[in-house]
Structure 1
Amino acid sequence: MTYTVGLLHPGSMGSAFGAQLRARGHNVLWCPDGRSDATRRRAARAGLEPAALPELVSRSDVLLSLCPPAAAEEIAAQAAELGVVGTGTIYVEANAVAPPRVQCVTDRLAPMPVIDAAVVGSPPVGGKTPTLYLSGPSKQADRIVELFAGTDVRTHVLGDRIGQASALKLAYSSYQKVSRVLAAVAYGAAESYGVADELLVIAAKRTRSYLVETDYIPKTASRAWRWGPELEDVATLLADAGLPDSLMHAAAATLARWDDNRDEPLDIAEALEALRGERDLDDPS
């Protein structure tokens, strides 16, 4: 089956998605109104068809929203105002936004079906194969899987609950992006004292991500009472080096939620409850 897809709006990721769909014979529309010359060039290279927004919305079987996260709800509002609600078009909210914002988009567009989607990976160019995670109504999710069949975009349906895909994306981003910020800050601190090369030697000894070693969660909880003050000293180091120290203060404040756990071994579930402030550690039950 050939689909007509309205792409809102073709940045580097969106244009690459559009090119993949075009290569499979689908029609891909985009709206050039108010877009930059760089966006226009990307759209032209991807073979996307320009159309005014009302035409794009009225012709599309699928509206794929891939835009800066801050604009996600505004883009959905524009689609709703153009009368797409109830036409059978599927709206794919594929931006890196929190689940409550996806729910706002879903509510605004009702009864139009909305699929919560999240892209993990680099744009599908040069052999790269990102995964498009999907959650929402199963019938519509299956159609999006069909849409991307045969492209370099892999699809994975998580379930029928709106918010699952966006939660997965942001949970992953919280580690991947903040860890890169921390790496820059740590390297900057070491460089300020002439020990950057030695830092890299130490860091090279560990190649596995803590994100896949969940047994470290209760271990971290049990060490929080001494790690928190250490991070406050790290904050002092960073400030002396002219680097931002707010992340260290925030991490120390987070560790403080585990301060009472030094003598009490916890499992992962209990450690997370304490982190959320849901567990009363003074309750013997």
Structure 2
Amino acid sequence: MPPSIAVIAPGSMGSAIAARLVEHGCKVPTLLEGRSEATRRRAAAAGMTGASAAEIADADLILSIVPPGEAVALAEQLATVINRNSRKPLIVDCNAVNVETIRRIEDIVLSSGARLVDAAIIGLPPKPGTKGPAFYVSGDAASDIAVLGQLGLDLRLIEGPIGAASALKMSYAGINKGLTGLGAAMVLAATRAGAADALRDELALSLPHVQARLANALPDMLPKAYRWVAEMREIAGFLGEDHPAALIYEGFARLFEHIAADVQGQGTEAAQLVAFAERCKAKT
């Protein structure tokens, strides 16, 4: 019989992973109290069922998939409920947090009697007919969630302690999303100075792979920019506050915060980024 696997929360990644698990016969409870109607519809479409915190604590596995700024609070919420239970689930923290944060989460989880697996999700939410995303896991209990590999997830074990998977996530996201942030900053600056078309043409000539990447990455980033703010600060923390490169990621956090506010406001700079991306695609 497939295990009961709770997924918190039913965002775009969480609901897509839940749908994959449901396809393989799993029951997937989630927390819906206080969530929007759109979130409730997304959860229902994925086959997830609303549950109380106590019912979540009775699951075999709990996958925590929330914005990084909410990861510690969720661990504390779960630990409070699990403390009252004789049954102790295995919690898989799949959030984009730095090594210091995941170790803090480990302390919280262990205090409840539960165990923790450190996980890093790299790639887009799973779609029917696709294998991804990659689901890297580390920690002493990582081998105990091998069942996820039999339930449609691309599970990849890292031989390392709690923190190893999070370190991979921070490093990969620092490069991947950092390049998007760098491109967005320069495209906006070039646009303000009247050089956007010249920049596009030069990228097409000398860095066509960069132009192709920005054509997809810039518009894709816009609805996610608000989520990337905390992630950039986690990456800054991963580097260490005394490391000069941490300032780069604090700058990216402020950039994505600025872009997110523009998306929610007048949308002037968002339109400029979309226009640049569309002109890049028109040239290919």
What is the CA-CA distance between 1:126 and the residue it aligns to? 4.7
- Per the TM alignment, residue 106 of structure 1 is displaced from its structure 2 partner at its CA by 0.8
Query: Please, what TM-score do these two structures have when normalized by structure 2?
Result: 0.68
Distance 1:126 1:23, change over 3 A: closer
- Structure 1: distance between partners of 2:38 and 2:142: 32
Q: What SS does the aligned partner of 2:150 have?
A: coil
Match of 2:149 in 1: 148
- Indicate the residue corresponding to 2:163 in structure 1: 163
Q: Structure 1 residue 191: deviation in Å?
A: 2.4
Q: Give the greater-gyration-radius structure (CA).
A: 1
2:139 to 136, 140, 158: 136
Structure-1 residue corresponding to 2:19: 19
Does residue 125 of structure 1 match 2:127?
yes
1:71 matched residue in structure 2: 70
Give yes or no for contact 2:82–2:88 (8 Å, CA) kept in 1. Answer: no
Deviation at 1:135, TM superposition (A): 0.5
Give the distance between the partners of 2:54 and 2:209, measured in 1 at CA.
49
TM-superposed deviation, 1:172: 1.2
* SS of 1:159 mapped into structure 2: coil
Pair 1:185-2:156 in alignment: no
RMSD between superposed Cα atoms in Å: 2.3
8 Å contact kept, 1:86–1:112: no
Decide which structure has greater helix share.
2
Helix, strand or coil: the match of 1:114?
A: strand
Q: Are residues 126 and 83 of structure 1, via their aligned partners in 2, closer, same or farther at CA, if it must alter by over 3 Å?
A: closer
Alignment correspondent of 2:230? none
The structure-2 alpha-carbon separation of the partners of 1:177 and 1:115, relative to structure 1 and needing over 3 Å to count, comes to: same
- Are the counterparts in 1 of residues 57 and 88 from structure 2 also a CA contact under 8 Å? no
Deviation at 1:148, TM superposition (A): 3.4
Query: How many residues align structurally?
Result: 209
Distance in structure 2 (CA, Å) of the matches to 1:37 and 1:184: 32
- Per the normalisation by structure 1, the TM-score is 0.68
> Which structure would you say has the larger RCO, counting Cα contacts within 8 Å and 6 or more residues apart?
2
Q: CA deviation at 1:206?
A: 2.6
Q: Percent identity?
A: 35
1:112: which partner in 2?
114
Judge conservation of contact 2:138–2:158 (CA < 8 Å) in 1: yes
1:103 maps to: 103
1:1-285 correspondence to structure 2 within 5 Å = 1-58=1-58, 60-83=59-82, 87-110=87-110, 111-128=113-130, 129-137=132-140, 140-151=141-152, 153-204=153-204, 205-206=206-207
